[in-house]
Amino acid sequence: MDYKAAGVDIDAGNEAVRRIRGLARSTFTAGVLSDIGSFGGLFRLEPGRYRDLVLVASADGVGTKLKVAFLARRHHTIGADLVNHCVNDILVQGAEPLFFLDYFATGQLLPAVAESIVGGIAAACRENGCALLGGETAEMPGFYGEGEYDVAGFIVGAVDRSRLITGRTIAVGDLLVGVPSSGLHTNGYSLARRVIFDRLRLDVGTYVPELATTVGDALLEPHRSYLPIVQPLLAGGRIKGMAHITGGGITDNLPRVLPHGTAALIDRSAWEVPPIFTWLQRSGSIPADDMLRTFNMGIGLIIVTGRDQTEPLIDELAARGGHKACVIGEVVPGEPPSVAYR
């Protein structure tokens, strides 16, 4: 009996690292001081860039969206989901990403699959100006089913303390600007899979006329990064607060940035809900309240700003690709912070 007979192939692991090394190096920024393979990643902050530096960190996964990737045998987009989700989580506090680390675990390590996943991670890191500083690849036989794996991401960003976005200045009368999502992003897949694969008994290759695409393409649409369109707007204090609409939907995520004494009133007719959500709701007979707490419903980011700043903000978002951003509600009196719909 040896390690390979027990299910762990060290040679496959080395091959995976060889394939990954070049992908990670392609993301390296000026701050990276170490190479892939070191016990710890080294990163040096640019001297003098921050007067009062605050580090912002986050960790997340992709959830059961992975099950769809297994069925479709498409793994590249999972990397973008992972990075963009983490980037958005620190962006809402005003931070820009510095570096990213990933954790990839599987029952049997297939170097080509690992390369595809990390290739997606590296591509998204490059697009977000974030270094893929390192990670962990774990082969765990008997722990995952055949062809299955799990991934997690860890991000560290930075912001000057004077430019932190905390939501403390949000006041009654401020407006809520919704920025479109690209689909389900990375939340609600346990319910979506139940409806599509169990109730409707569809396949990932099934074409759905209402969606004008296949089930697999609709469900694997990557999580959108809002950094490119929002980062240029962070200076000047126009953005009072932001909420990344993930698990819990608008209902549970928006109150996280509202100060005491305020609540949000959302106009559900203010934006056009994408077909993927209406199709899922009708196909699964899902109650409206459950839809709003499970899915983003077409709004992936909410920006809170003063009334006099709203139109210029929307115009600037449109100029950078957020062309369907619109006012979806307002801040009203309330305690504790909550969301109501009309």
Nearest Cα residue to 32 out of 18, 46, 12: 46
pLDDT value at position 37?
A: 81
CB atoms within 10 A of CB 44: 9
Same domain, 240 and 116: no
pLDDT value at position 1?
A: 72
Residue 337 lies in a domain: yes
Same domain, 331 and 295: yes
Same domain, 152 and 251: no
Same domain, 29 and 138: yes
User: Which residues on neighbouring strands pair with residue 327, listed in sequence order?
Assistant: 177
Residue 288 pLDDT > 80: yes
Reported as a single tens digit per residue, the pLDDT across 76-112 is 999 999 999 999 999 999 999 999 999 999 999 898 9
pTM: 0.94
Residue 240 pLDDT > 70: yes
Kindly list the distances between the CA atom of residue 187 and the CA atoms of 67, 78, 79, 191, 195, in Å, as whole numbers in the listed order: 13, 13, 15, 9, 14
Residue 224 lies in a domain: yes
Same domain, 139 and 205: no
Q: Where does a domain end: 163, 191, 214?
A: 163
Same domain, 193 and 282: yes
Residue 3 pLDDT > 70: no
Residue 178 pLDDT > 70: yes
Mean pLDDT of the chain: 94
Cβ–Cβ under 8 Å, residues 104 and 117 = yes
Residue 322 pLDDT > 80: no
Residue 5 lies in a domain: no
User: Which residues on neighbouring strands pair with residue 106, listed in sequence order?
Assistant: 139, 149
Q: Which of 11-15, 92-96, 152-156, 286-290 has the lowest mean pLDDT?
A: 11-15
Residue 334 pLDDT > 90: yes
Residue 199 lies in a domain: yes
**269 falls in which pLDDT band (50, 70, 90)?**
very high
**320 falls in which pLDDT band (50, 70, 90)?**
confident
Residue 169 lies in a domain: no
pLDDT value at position 18?
A: 83
Nearest Cα residue to 74 out of 126, 127, 142, 147: 147
Domain with 191, as residue range(s), is 175-341
Total domains, the chain? 2
Q: Where does a domain end: 115, 142, 163?
A: 163
Same domain, 16 and 77: yes
Residue 3 lies in a domain: no
Reported as a single tens digit per residue, the pLDDT across 115-158 is 999 999 999 999 999 999 999 999 999 899 999 999 999 999 99
Same domain, 215 and 140: no
Same domain, 16 and 104: yes
Residue 301 lies in a domain: yes
Residue 57 pLDDT > 70: yes
Same domain, 34 and 151: yes
Residue 6 pLDDT > 70: no
